[in-house]
Amino acid sequence: MNREYLNQKIEELKLRIGDGSLTPEEEQETEAWFLREFFLYPVEQALSEGNTIPLDLLCMMQQVVRGVYPYWIDNDELYALGREALVKLSMIGREFAAQEELDDYFKKELISEKGKEGSKLDQIPEQTPFVSVILPTYNRASELGKAMQSVLDQTYENLELIVVSDGSTDETEQVVKGFTDPRVRFLRSEKNGGLAYARNLGIRDAKFDLLAFHDDDDLWKTAKLENQVRELLKSNLNTGFCYCEMSYIMLDGKTVHIVPRREISMVRKRGYLYPELLRRNFVGGPTLLVRKECFGEVGLFDESLAIFEDWDMVVRLSKRYDAAFVAEPLYDYLEHEKSLTTDRSSTHRERIAETLRRLDEKTAEDKAAYGFTEKYIDTYMGE
């Protein structure tokens, strides 16, 4: 690969574009072809030969792509290439000040990405696995019983239900102990540490290798676990978690939104979610079914986050692991007057803004690499 090759591809692109009368489908195909031939192929060739690309040549390649196709990540055909290809293509949006930086990126990111067989998840056992369901609760005794029952009514019966009382002062313990099902376990924390804290208590106490999460005021469809376990079992070995559609039921009890939105293409809902999650949050945290060993790799929930701790977790999981997805609303999120989503107080809005700023800081470098300029805080707060 040399400048002559790259110049040839530019000339071929001009011929393909012609007078600019391509259909949207033809534009997508042409864009995908050019990025594969002009950028992805040279990077893969350099890797196969044990070399890196000279910095001046890479800078020229980046400038051409940024000028011709600045929003390449919106191309579903490219997105469908998967994790390894998208990581390589992210070089388009990265700045390398010296050849040493570029060489280091090849060694640490691209080469290690190419040879990660040793860090793949172990094969899931053929026998039907058991699931630990973690349900944190805080002073919601009146709603808790229905949430618990929706877990115990699952068609998939191989489970334990760990109810974590996060410093509750109401009748929570009596409600839990009113269930005689031996699959129910109760953990009590004397302090109110928040959702992340309570979920982490449950993770540490869980007996089984698959972990699911539930909220104390929501409901599961009876086939939720069965469908998600099946989807996870048949996925590739780097798939660390599975999520499903969530019905977001508004205060009036009639208006229902489906999360993730169905207009998002299916290719962006499974496999390598990370680039898309850098742009928007579309995974319902309580719908997650996660292999326990993944937490050993990415860490537990961030207990310093009072909100969006599940979004932060999904972003960290998706950077390292692929996702399985069930395109069926198996989780009912029930909005009510005490929900965080209905809190319009200035204190809550300030908490939202501060958390979004922190999440923006965590992901800033990778956002830039995938060509995203918008910030979570601007998108969410409508600024």
- Burial of 54: CB neighbours in 10 Å, binned 0-12, 13-18, 19+: middle
Is the pLDDT at 188 greater than 50, yes or no? yes
pLDDT of residue 337: 60
Lowest mean pLDDT among 120-134, 177-191, 266-280: 120-134
Cis peptide preceding 260, ω within 30 of 0: yes
Confidence band (pLDDT; 50, 70, 90) for 118? very low
| Closest listed residue to residue 171, CA positions, set 143, 197, 151, 150 | 143
Residue type for 127, please?
Q
Q: Residues 214, 218, 224, CA angle at the centre, nearest 5°?
A: 60
Is the pLDDT at 87 greater than 70, yes or no? yes
Mean pLDDT of 63-72: 95
Mean pLDDT of the chain: 92
Mean pLDDT of 170-193: 97
- Top pLDDT among 33 and 342 is at 33
Residue type for 383, please?
E
pLDDT of residue 252: 82
Question: Tokens standing for 379?
Answer: 């998108």
State pLDDT tens for residues 5-27.
Answer: 999 999 999 999 998 899 999 99
- The DSSP 8-state label assigned to residue 126 in this structure reads S
pLDDT of residue 126: 57
Q: Does domain 131-337 have CATH number 3.90.550.10?
A: yes
State pLDDT tens for residues 213-256.
Answer: 999 999 999 999 999 999 999 999 899 999 999 999 988 888 88
Is the pLDDT at 296 greater than 50, yes or no? yes
Tell me the torsion sign for CA atoms 119, 124, 125, 131: positive
Residues 6+ away with beta carbon under 8 Å from 96: 55, 58, 59, 102, 105
State pLDDT tens for residues 194-204.
Answer: 999 999 999 99
| Closest listed residue to residue 139, CA positions, set 170, 164, 163 | 170
Tell me the backbone φ, ψ of residue 23, rounded to 5 degrees: -75, 160
Mean pLDDT of 58-66: 96
Residue 217: CA count within 13 A, CB half-sphere: 14
Is the pLDDT at 345 greater than 80, yes or no? no
| Predicted structure pTM score | 0.91
Judge contact between 183 and 152, C-beta under 8 A: yes
Q: Which residue has the tokens 């009912």?
A: 332
Percent of the chain topping pLDDT 90: 82
Mean pLDDT of 257-284: 95
What would you report as the CA-atom Rg of the chain, rounded to the nearest whole angstrom? Answer: 23
CA distance 171 to 139: 8
Pairing state between β 131-137 and 210-213: parallel
CA distance 104 to 320: 19
Judge contact between 174 and 141, C-beta under 8 A: yes
Is the pLDDT at 275 greater than 60, yes or no? yes
Domain ranges of the chain: 3-115, 131-337, 343-383
Mean pLDDT of 181-199: 97
Is the pLDDT at 376 greater than 90, yes or no? no
CA distance 130 to 252: 37
